[in-house]
Structure 1
Amino acid sequence: MLPQRQRIVALAAALTVGLTACGAATDDSSPTPAASAPAPTEDETASPDDDGSTSTAPSEDDSMKPSPIPTPDPGGSALPTGPVPDSVLARDDVVAATEDYAERRGVDVADVTVEGFAAVTWSDGSIGCPEPGMMYTQALVPGYQLVLGVDGQLASYHAAEGKPFSYCASPVAPAQTNPST
């Protein structure tokens, strides 16, 4: 049996290796979504969210600026598209996201189509929309991914279970897609 001091040193070394591995990229050939997202500006402020993550919120002046239209994440996974049940289309959170996207694009709500919806499990508290320099809870988060479209351009909206959808300019694929709800 190792003396206590040697056990502590061995444990510290193992933790260091494990934590270092958590931050390592698995594929150096493609940029990470966080690396391709713009850094927060002076007008953005950090605030803790209900799910334990910290996110940035744009100032009121930024809310009316057009947002870039996202594409599938660089990892190659496509956004979940396909038929969406009427029961999902009638959900208050889906209606609110549709109205938000119409405002972002400067179009009528009738011009926004719901292209897909999936119950998912997000890999962490960023709910598939990590921001550079932010820290998130490292736990699986059940939630939803909503895909909206205008004129063939798709946008991804993400939510934790029981929370409203939020627009995601640089979506990251969920840890898993769950059976239909």
Structure 2
Amino acid sequence: MPLSLLLWLFALWANGVSLEPSQPTTTAPNSAVDVAIELLATELKAHRLDVILHSAEKVAWSDASLGCQQPGYAYAQVQTPGWRLSFTVHGAEHAVHTDDAGRSAVRPTGCL
């Protein structure tokens, strides 16, 4: 390996630049996470600190139902940006769907 390449790699390492491939990370906005935590804490009668976020996936819901249409309801037929969040509460896993701004949250149980 040429000395110039070794010096370049050393300079990167010395400045904290990782040579490992980076893993993609997705961070949901606090507003979306907060509305989801509030929903789960209320429905499960748990303390907010017992609701632990495990993953957040950015999604585009096909309509305003946030991926959880209920019979007898009408939903705006517009693509709705949001989040698919996964939590653990007292050892059990729970999913919550939110809009991007954290104004709405639903649990995807009993959806059509």
* TM-score for the superposition, normalised by structure 1: 0.40
The answer to whether the 8 Å contact 2:99/2:105 transfers is: no
1:142 aligns with 2:81: yes
CA contact (8 A) 2:34 2:102 kept: no
Tell me, yes or no, if the aligned pair for 2:32 and 2:98 is still in contact at 8 Å.
no
> Is the partner of 2:56 in helix, strand or coil?
strand
Amino acid at match of 1:134: Y
Q: Which runs of 5+ in 1 are unaligned?
A: 1-83, 173-181
**Preserved CA contact (<8 Å) 2:32 2:99:** no
| Paired amino acid for 2:56 | F
Match of 1:41 in 2: none
Tell me by how many angstroms 1:121 deviates: 0.9
- Structure 2, unpaired ranges of 5+: 1-24
Supply the RMSD in Å over aligned alpha carbons. Answer: 2.6
Q: Does 1:101 align with 2:28?
A: no
Aligned to 2:94: 155
Instruction: Compute the displacement of 1:169 (Å).
Output: 4.2
Measured in 1, the distance between the counterparts of 2:47 and 2:95 equals 18
Taking every aligned residue pair, what percent have the same amino acid on both sides? 26
Partner deviation per Cα, 1:38-83 (whole Å, 9 max, x = no partner): xxxxxxxxxxxxxxxxxxxxxxxxxxxxxxxxxxxxxxxxxxxxxx
CA distance in 2, matches of 1:156, 1:96: 13
Matched, 1:167 2:101: no
Q: CA deviation at 1:171?
A: 7.0
The one-letter amino acid of 1:150's match is V
Deviations 1:95-152 (A, max 9, x none): 2321331232122222211121111011122111101022223332221122222133
Q: Aligned pair 1:124/2:24, yes or no?
A: no
Q: Which one has more relative contact order, counting CA pairs under 8 Å at least 6 apart?
A: 2
Indicate the structure (1 or 2) with the bigger Cα radius of gyration: 2
The number of residues matched between the two structures is 87
